[in-house]
Amino acid sequence: MLHDARPSLLVVEDEEVIGLSLQASLDEAGFAVQLFSNAADVLAAIDGFSIAAAIIDVGLPGMTGDELGRHCRARSPTLPIILATGYEQSRYASSVAADPLLAVLEKPFDTPRLLMRLEEFGVYPTPPGVSAARAN
């Protein structure tokens, strides 16, 4: 059986077009992406896979992205979290200052900026030319 050996990212975005675009960009960059559109589905599934970082939209239905981030962090205390928001980053300045594993990106953002944030957390994609699948 083959397993994806690429670093896995949790992406939570309720706008389908944005979520699919992020998934495609990150997949092309060398990551495996676990895409969800709401917090409830994430909470039901998060214990079933290992993730290197989480990218969470702030404006989710049912639970805010920063609340979901706290739930994810409770399960994995060293999980880097990037909150994606249409609001100004300054709204989250005190949270980011207090948490070295938290970053905020204002929407819209491009893939290079997102990759740079991930790299700041030590999360790197599988380099081109390196096999992304391994036998189990």
The CATH class, in words, for 2-135 is alpha beta
φ/ψ region of 16 (left if φ > 0, alpha if ψ in -120 to 50, else beta) reads alpha
pLDDT in tens, 23-43: 999 999 999 999 999 999 999
Taking only the tens place, the pLDDT of each residue in 74-112 is 999 999 999 998 876 666 666 777 889 999 998 888 999
Closest Cα to residue 26, out of 128, 131, 125? 125
Answer for the pair 5, 131: CB distance below 8 angstroms, yes or no: yes
Provide the residue ranges of all domains of the chain, joining segments of one domain with +: 2-135
133 pLDDT above the threshold of 60: no
**pLDDT exceeds 80 at position 127:** no
Confidence of residue 52 (pLDDT cuts 50, 70, 90): very high
Whether residue 7 has pLDDT greater than 50: yes
Q: What percent of the chain has pLDDT over 90?
A: 61
* Average pLDDT across the chain, whole number: 86
Instruction: Give CA–CA dist 54/49, Å, rounded.
Output: 12
